[in-house]
Chain A
């Protein structure tokens, strides 16, 4: 394990004061890697918080160029970047926060063609994709490679997060056995609602990677409603017949 240098000790001093984290937790985080897909209203703040907290390596996947309608929530992007690849802006933004960060950047979205190789490079996966087909691809790859998956999603003023540990908890396809036909690619969204799910997902990931605490959403789904500021947790149920994880 590569130890912290003096600059890192100075940078992360305040978070190393957190109970159960310390220099050991920070060192584990430095030596960890995470895949984040995609880098919009949800994946953007996930990547930003991981970068700021001092994760060692990020694998980022996001296709397409920046549009006006992205700017209400995609905080890694900037107005001057309209029409240019979002992945390039994300890398620039993240390295400006943490120049020590190693980044593997893919200017395309997750698919069945690239998911296995991307998940293989990561210790943990943050699922922030707007399509269930992408989410299911990451779920399958994580189950096969026994990698933890933090699944976060939002709609309007609501959000949800669950921590999936293959072989221990329900996988995404236990929760949603099929692609929901009702889900549409465009949805009502406030950046602050997405970022809430993102920050909760990141803390689950930091707990897992550093060992500072048991992830609170392992086998549970947190759902929240920021209209009424209500938060609930429910248990997720493994499906013994799940085609993805039944043998895991």
Chain B
């Protein structure tokens, strides 16, 4: 199945893309989907997205189909989902 990831902040900067579509297995979780995404880029992308334990950083806001999700209890991933990753920013 295919999911689309919308990238904001530093993730967008590293990926040099606003939006990325990837194909993932039908039983994919949020974490496995994000790991698959990160595999397309250099280590700085993973460092930005995941903490030392491999979990999504607490400072990263994750939305699925424009709804903020609880990263500790993410919903299952469906074909056609739009996943948005908002990295913390503080520029002025």
Binding site for B on A (CB under 8 A): 38, 40-43, 128-132, 135, 152-156, 158, 160, 175-178, 180, 182-183, 187-189, 194, 221, 223, 225, 227-228, 232, 234-237
**Contact residue among B12, B47, B63, B67 (Cβ-Cβ distance under 8 Å from A182):** B47
Contacts of A225 in B (CB 8 A): 8, 18
**Contact residue among A41, A132, A177, A237 (Cβ-Cβ distance under 8 Å from B90):** A132
Tell me the bound Cα distance from A178 to B51 in angstroms. 12
Contacts of B66 in A (CB 8 A): 232, 234
Tell me the bound Cα distance from A188 to B36 in angstroms. 27
Contacts of A177 in B (CB 8 A): 58-59
3 closest A-B pairs (Cβ-Cβ)? A42-B92, A180-B88, A155-B89
Contact digits for B29-66, partner A, Cβ 8 Å, 1 yes 0 no: 00000000000000000011000000001110101001
Do A176 and B63 have beta carbons less than 8 Å apart? no
Tell me the bound Cα distance from A154 to B91 in angstroms. 5
What band does the interface of chain B fall in when counting residues whose beta carbon is under 8 Å from A? 20 to 34
Do A129 and B90 have beta carbons less than 8 Å apart? yes
Do A183 and B13 have beta carbons less than 8 Å apart? no
Query: Measured between C-beta atoms, what is the minimum distance from A71 to chain B in Å?
Result: 15
Contact digits for B2-40, partner A, Cβ 8 Å, 1 yes 0 no: 000000111011000010000000000000000000000
Chain B residue at smallest Cβ distance from A156: B13
Query: Measured between C-beta atoms, what is the minimum distance from B56 to chain A in Å?
Result: 12
Tell which of A177, A232, A236 has the most Cβ of chain B within 10 Å.
A232
A228-B61 in contact given A130-B90, A155-B9 (Cβ < 8 Å): no
Tell me the bound Cα distance from A40 to B91 in angstroms. 10
Do A176 and B92 have beta carbons less than 8 Å apart? no
Tell me the bound Cα distance from A145 to B16 in angstroms. 42
Tell me the bound Cα distance from A234 to B82 in angstroms. 14
Contacts of A129 in B (CB 8 A): 90, 92
Contacts of A40 in B (CB 8 A): 92
Do B67 and A234 have beta carbons less than 8 Å apart? yes
Tell me the bound Cα distance from A135 to B90 in angstroms. 8
Query: Measured between C-beta atoms, what is the minimum distance from A207 to chain B in Å?
Result: 22
Contacts of B12 in A (CB 8 A): 156, 158
Tell me the bound Cα distance from A178 to B88 in angstroms. 10
Chain A residue at smallest Cβ distance from B19: A228
A43-B92 in contact given A182-B47, A235-B68 (Cβ < 8 Å): yes
Chain A residue at smallest Cβ distance from B10: A182
Contacts of A176 in B (CB 8 A): 58-59, 88
New contact pairs (17) apart from A154-B92, A180-B87, CB-CB < 8 Å: A41-B91, A128-B92, A130-B91, A130-B92, A135-B90, A153-B91, A153-B92, A156-B9, A158-B89, A180-B88, A189-B91, A223-B8, A225-B8, A234-B63, A234-B68, A235-B68, A236-B68
Contacts of A237 in B (CB 8 A): 68, 70
Tell me the bound Cα distance from A55 to B21 in angstroms. 47
Contacts of A188 in B (CB 8 A): 13
Contacts of B87 in A (CB 8 A): 180, 182
Contacts of B58 in A (CB 8 A): 176-178
